[in-house]
Structure 1
């Protein structure tokens, strides 16, 4: 008997001993691609929590479709608790070999939930719908939503508390969290408890307080829907259409469960089940008194962390409670995550560490946590927060030489296992790398090869990276993926060559809650925005009064975002704070009469205006804009407010605590320069004007000469007269007559 078969048999036998011990579970999946023989591999991760131990007790059975065979299974403890009710939380990774990428379903059914649950729930039912087909929008296999949860959450009976359920989709799909409705398939009890309300779109469970004490079973289903109609194709030649989620909300049913799932065409169905225990009343519902309050540097709920393969992730948690004793941090995360806790007075801290492996590359991992405290026999929980960890390719080290106009990077071949010099590229794949016996070498100017520009208050930072590439026709790889980032930093106050000022490369920013996002500001030749002005032709020459077309495009790891242009101004130098400027947009309102907006309320902003120049000895015009990126659909963001009167009082925004950040800070981006170009008509008019001016000037010379001669004569007469001796008159005596 093989070791894997023996392991599965032991797990099956152990399931008999797990009666009255179940606290909940979930399952997610990710495709690992197609194999050389045309078959497929999928990694399935599932979490289970029981009262009697931390082994993964239950095996999943095939409910429909061809579920293939299990090729590997590994599991381990993630966390446990002994605060009044013992439980142990485990994570497992199951790898399956499949004959095709067509959908199939896995089911887990057994007995029993923990005793004394409201309604006397006994059995549990979990169903996962797995679809690995190739999507028409991403041209990649479909990925399931990412979720996990602390399996046993405690709420005081007298407080209004929210539980933010993690529901992130790596493909950017719309995610809905709903109650299980298909009796004996998605759920065993299908209960929807009083004094609780599930916001399906936001995936928030609201508890309104004044609920009787006791444990309640929650059986949720997490589904992902495309944001537009797409098709999903399969290796067998079949395909299926998938449609966005309908905004219509079904009317409440008088029965506690339904025999059919709600309408729509979800790509995946993921089970999410847990216990919510209602404890006695707490003297104060204010966080930080009895209920623990999470403090900085604890991550916000929904925050993203990017990490490379083999790089250690470190997350710091901190909590405070003045009238209860902090005793633990409860976590749910991937296999091999570790935790180190310290307690000091009313404050507790924890450090989570985890290092992804090569197999984790490209996978999004959820981590959730809660701070726990005690006061006598009472146990209190903080809010639950969850983060998403996105694992990227293996990182490398590089030696970088920075000059005024170029960057040169040197990578020692022996520093990275599996480095293949003939399969490396820069951001721009047309830029090749050189290599010798010991090093891989790349050299580029500051505005070429896909170099990207970041800036802070003091520096300009030029970034590029070396990555691996494959034959686009290949279906497998046996090379390690490598990502070697490098950069050059230049102080803004120093002397920097103008060579890289001609065209601004994309601006990159990073903020908590939004991760890394990029703005690209470009000029276009027409209102069709189909052909960008070639960066090598900068500065851009434009005829006076002709339309210039501009686009600001945003890219973000957060799906469904909106770009808002707060202001745009023109300056004769590349400095938006320069004293001489011309306002184009202010407070989201168009100021210049010639502006035409072609696209807005999305991830990009397209507009045009008539070309102009500054009066005086100024040759160039730079356009600078202040922009904000917001999550779509929230009326409290700056993006949703649109044009606002600058004299009006600022609006007060009440942001929901569950969101990490509804919008980014304002960022200035710029592009240019524009330089006035005379049209042919203007040039002809200029020639005619010059000829007329020459004739006029000759006449003026003659007239001026004559006038000067006359003036000279007059002046001469005046001078002559003024020099004659004056005659003195005296009265003669009468005697002389």
Structure 2
């Protein structure tokens, strides 16, 4: 068995590599390389040596992790098996010669099944992955909330544990963005393969740091699962959470030239249609998008994928003139398998939108209608609007967006579906509020979950089978987020069909109703729709400055250009991690 061994050190790059063998057949060093992988604004240089041999205990994190002494902190260490087997961890055992001292550090606990060592007390602990004495220090942070002094990740930063895909001799790239309201992010540290590169920029106006991480796999990386880890750090040394992703390396081949695809780009969605006759053997039941929860449908002639611009794993990148939203159709053998044993098909697709200056008079953050296409339902449209009052007669004019409301003020929202079919019903499965226009934002507050109301101020109003009307009191998140987006997961069903998600209604842990597998003939896929933003103000009418992010801006201006690429490679499997950041309602004296 071949292993790669890495040593990271902070000094001038030179050939420094140690590999010891106390007994037995330890193999031999087949390959040795070294070079610089990262640097800091202070001039420190991180170097990494990589060896190729038959036994190793790799260290893949060339940086010190700092834990503020007043903030209990959890580190989610990366555990990955290419075959999808369960991986557990435990402390090293001296009788197995797994470690030298095997002492458990004071203040650390290990949640073995999910690789999460947790610091429980308030003593400062220094952790260093290097073989010379680390400098230990104690410090506190004014606030333990990520996003205040400790950087918080922003979209499109990949979640911890995500599995991405790269191809030999083709550039692989991802973006890390982080923000801290009361500190300056001086760098985003990375650890990965030897020839990885990073460019970093800091925007003082938005207090956001952005790193573009780039790597081009070589032939030596073919078939490997390569970990890449990163975190953001402020000038004071405050750090974000540590995240790691896995990049599986395959070989890119071309699909047959006669495969026919077409894309429809709208203000809020993109749909791709694959002509079945040009791609024989493809089955929609064994195809999915970047988010494996999102699958395809088909009719007699085409395979169909229809998604919102901010859902189903859709990523975006930008250049000087446009923003490009990208997703990919991928085949798989079995839903729970990470690695496929067959030749896999990839069909990337994208929609490009021109950048237009933020000062343009035509800008409107109001979301247009969501148009989807799906087998058995044809083309149907979701409308998501805010209303003036509880009679739901007048929508808030799109020209008034973003909407400014006071804390505690009632908000009235309506979702409806428009379809040429007259026997359908609408079901709103989930609704949540987020400070960014991203349904996968790690900071969120649940309003409706599995059809059940979670917020105690939420009121469901009577409506017909193609409408859903509800209201709730306006609120703000801890961390002083001033803007809120509403994102909902919606489903369309054939009316009166038994066993559909629409017919089940509220399903929770105490419910006697059990969720069933989706009925392909009588139930649509889950679709994500959103509306906003809402800007929350104090009762003294202090104005909140408008600073919409680029994602919202681009949705206000549409002149879509569709780009479709076709390749063959390895399947992507995306692991979703999320956390809930709770909010508290303010008392009257605080408003």
Higher helix share: 1
Q: Which has the larger radius of gyration?
A: 1
Higher strand share: 1
Larger relative contact order (CA 8 Å, sep ≥ 6):
2
